[in-house]
């Protein structure tokens, strides 16, 4: 009797161990937090980037090492991931809604998102360092290489001084790479905000354009940056104006003071400016504040440009639900 009981207990334990292995270690398994799988939280993280959503960061941290192990596996084996996996389907849906990731394979996107998520975990993801180092050494595609390098900076808390110096030297052939890397590091690179604010005072529009783009990544958690970028909303330079509007859309709640100013651009004669204004409203205006821009969005549903009409209709539908 005791032998049978021992066998039953061992069998139960073994079954539980196998279940845990499938859920948390093997490629098909994903940890969950508050009823949502890891893939959901990773997609949410990128939806809010470059801002760092405390709720999403808490979810990733609460899932702990199983989440880090899963993300590390995706980083190294994204090209052999199961084609019907929940993670791949979730990313495929997200990619269809985001043009910046819609042009490369899903498996590359999995590596891209995995690197970003690992970086957001900081030093807690130190076990992923070897995989990230291999990725930076072997990846020929900067789509994956840059997020992996940024993740290493965030996890190891590496200095960004050299990258800032390289970016500032616009004649340096590596300046563009440094700019892309610092943008990926995001708010953790906020030490370079003073440099970028100084560049905005330049009379060179290309220098201003670069600074606006980078400020909308590294400065998104600084309310002091918002009024500075807001000055460019009325710029006579279309490129600077639209870059500022699109950049401000990343500031979320901090962009509240400029909502009315941006909404007024829905009547701009420039189609691309109207589209940028709609993107801002979609990203930065919450349901409570939407009432203040409702007339402008309703007006935009009759816009002569199909893209602006489509964006306005989608925003209107989402806020009426």
Which structure tokens are listed for 157?
A: 């808390």
243 versus 52: the higher-pLDDT residue is 243
Q: Per-residue pLDDT tens for 113-150?
A: 899 999 999 999 999 999 999 988 875 666 788 999 99
Task: Give CA–CA dist 239/304, Å, rounded.
Answer: 21
Q: Tens digit of pLDDT for each residue in 204-234?
A: 999 999 999 999 999 999 999 999 999 999 9
pLDDT one-digit tens code per residue, 47-74: 778 888 899 999 999 999 999 999 998 8
**Packed helices 142-156 and 129-138: angle between N→C axes, nearest 10 degrees:** 150
Q: Look at residue 218 in the predicted model and tell me its pLDDT.
A: 97
- The kind and range of the H/E element at 33 are strand 32-33
pLDDT at residue 290 above 50?
yes
pLDDT band at 282; cut points 50, 70, 90: very high
Residue-by-residue DSSP string for 193-256: HHHHHHHTT-S-HHHHHHHHHHHHHHSTT-TTHHHHHHTTTT-S-HHHHHHHHHHHGGGGGGGG
What is the structure's pLDDT at 165? 97
Residue 15 has pLDDT above 60, yes or no: no
Q: Which of 179, 244, 237, 226 is nearest to 204 (CA)?
A: 237
| Largest separation between any pair of C-alpha atoms in the chain | 89
pLDDT band, very low/low/confident/very high, at 108 (cuts 50, 70, 90): confident
**pLDDT number for residue 44:** 87
- How far apart, in whole angstroms, are the C-alpha atoms of residue 227 and residue 248? 10
Which uninterrupted H or E stretch holds 36?
strand 36-37
Mean confidence (pLDDT) of the chain: 84
pLDDT in tens, 159-186: 999 999 999 998 999 999 999 999 999 9
Domains of the chain (ranges, CATH numbers):
24-158 (no CATH), 196-321 (1.25.10.10)
β-strand partners of 37: 32
Name residues whose C-beta falls within 8 Å of residue 32's C-beta, 6 or more positions apart in sequence. 38, 63
What's the pLDDT at 9? 42
d(CA 146, CA 135): 10
CA 155 to chain centre: 17
């Amino acid at each position: 009797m005791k032998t049978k009981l021992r066998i039953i207990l061992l069998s139960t334990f073994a079954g539980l161990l196998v279940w845990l292995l499938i859920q948390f270690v093997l490629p098909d398994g994903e940890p969950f937090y508050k009823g949502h799988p890891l893939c959901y939280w990773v997609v949410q993280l990128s939806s809010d980037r470059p801002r760092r959503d405390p709720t999403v960061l808490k979810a990733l941290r609460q899932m702990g090492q199983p989440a880090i192990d899963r993300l590390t596996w995706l980083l190294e084996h994204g090209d052999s991931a199961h084609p019907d996996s929940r993670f791949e389907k979730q990313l495929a849906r997200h990619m269809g809604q985001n043009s910046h990731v819609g042009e490369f394979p899903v498996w590359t996107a999995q590596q891209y998102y995995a690197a970003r998520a690992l970086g957001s975990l900081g030093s807690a993801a130190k076990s992923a360092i070897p995989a990230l180092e291999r990725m930076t050494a072997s990846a020929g595609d900067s789509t994956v290489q840059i997020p992996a390098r940024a993740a290493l900076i965030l996890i190891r808390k590496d200095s960004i001084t050299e990258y800032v110096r390289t970016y500032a030297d616009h004649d340096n052939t590596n300046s563009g790479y440094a700019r892309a890397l610092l943008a990926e590091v995001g708010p953790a690179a906020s030490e370079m905000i003073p440099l970028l604010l100084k560049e905005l005072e330049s009379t060179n529009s290309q220098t201003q354009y670069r600074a606006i783009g980078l400020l909308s990544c590294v400065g998104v958690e600084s309310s002091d940056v918002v009024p500075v970028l807001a000055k460019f909303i009325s710029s006579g330079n279309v490129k600077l104006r639209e870059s500022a509007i699109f950049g401000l859309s990343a500031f979320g709640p901090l962009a509240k003071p400029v909502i009315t100013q941006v909404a007024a651009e829905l009547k701009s004669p420039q189609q691309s400016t109207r589209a940028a204004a709609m993107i801002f409203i979609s990203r930065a205006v919450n349901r409570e504040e939407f009432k203040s821009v409702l007339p402008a969005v309703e007006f935009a549903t009759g816009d002569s440009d199909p893209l602006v009409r489509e964006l306005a209709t989608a925003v209107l539908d989402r806020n009426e639900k």
